Amino acid sequence: MPEGPEILRACDELAGVLKNQKVRQITFAFDELKGFQSRFRNKNIVSVTARGKAILIGLSNGYTIYSHNQLYGRWIVKPAGIYPETKRQLRMEINVNDYSALLYSASDIEVLNKKELKNHAYLNRLGLELLSPKTTEQVVLERLSEKRFSRRCLMGLLQDQSVLAGMGNYLCCEVLHIVGLHPENRIIDLNMRELKKLAGICLKLTRQSYKTGGITNLLSRAKKLKKQGLEFEDYRFYVYRRAGQDCYQCGNAIIKDSFCGRMGYVCPDCQQ
């Protein structure tokens, strides 16, 4: 599933071609939304924003198009009239003068009025946005230090969107490895030094992934491995999807296992 960094990068690309543009045509695949197609024609797109793993497209008539990519959804921007070769199903198409924004495979698409937007279940339960410029390391520390979270397993806690919005499985695995914590640890098991480091790395690594297009590995190492001819997926991570390969820090084999009901990757030596 795309995580916060991927969603915000997609949002940036969409905003670059859609914001302040007039809708030439919009098409929805779902029957319950088709009635909005004529109502949105010639309306201006006034905002394109990301919230957690959702993208919100605001229109000048007060409506907002909500989409959540879930596991397989993907936005593709193309010059108007050009479609990619893909077996994915097109769920929504927004055409402006020069470009088309195409949403494939996503099944969670809604059109919301102002009241529905304000009361939206997913948006209302979102926690701290790690990619918000207003979020600081101290704010993340205070969030993780809340007593109600103290006995929750880190593997589940860090992926709970009501706690930290935008962090998913790969970011969780990478953060815990860098901090040197086992996924089954709880907040109550950590000392203050570990807790501060956890808060800092959650923030730093999420923003690094956004800036680099998904690289959470040490950037100097990733650059070196890329020069050696490795593919992107083979140099971007510390431990994620590297089961059976050597840990960069200790040389032991990385393992894939279930931790607190969620699949993840760890170094058994660095994360005892």
- CA nearest neighbour of 40 among 57, 17, 56, 15: 57
Q: How far apart are CA 188 and CA 195, in angstroms?
A: 9
- CA nearest neighbour of 205 among 241, 255, 240: 240
Determine contact, residues 66/80, Cβ cutoff 8 Å. no
Determine contact, residues 68/106, Cβ cutoff 8 Å. yes
- Which residues have a Cβ under 8 Å from the Cβ of 26 and sit 6 or more positions away? 36, 37, 40, 41, 92, 93, 94, 95
E strand intervals along 38-79: 45-51, 54-59, 64-68, 74-79
- Say if residue 268 is exposed, middle or buried (CB neighbours under 10 Å; 0-12, 13-18, 19+): middle
Residues catalogued as catalytic: 2-3, 53, 262
E strand intervals along the chain: 25-28, 45-51, 54-59, 64-68, 74-79, 90-95, 99-104, 108-112, 128-129, 164-165, 255-259, 262-266
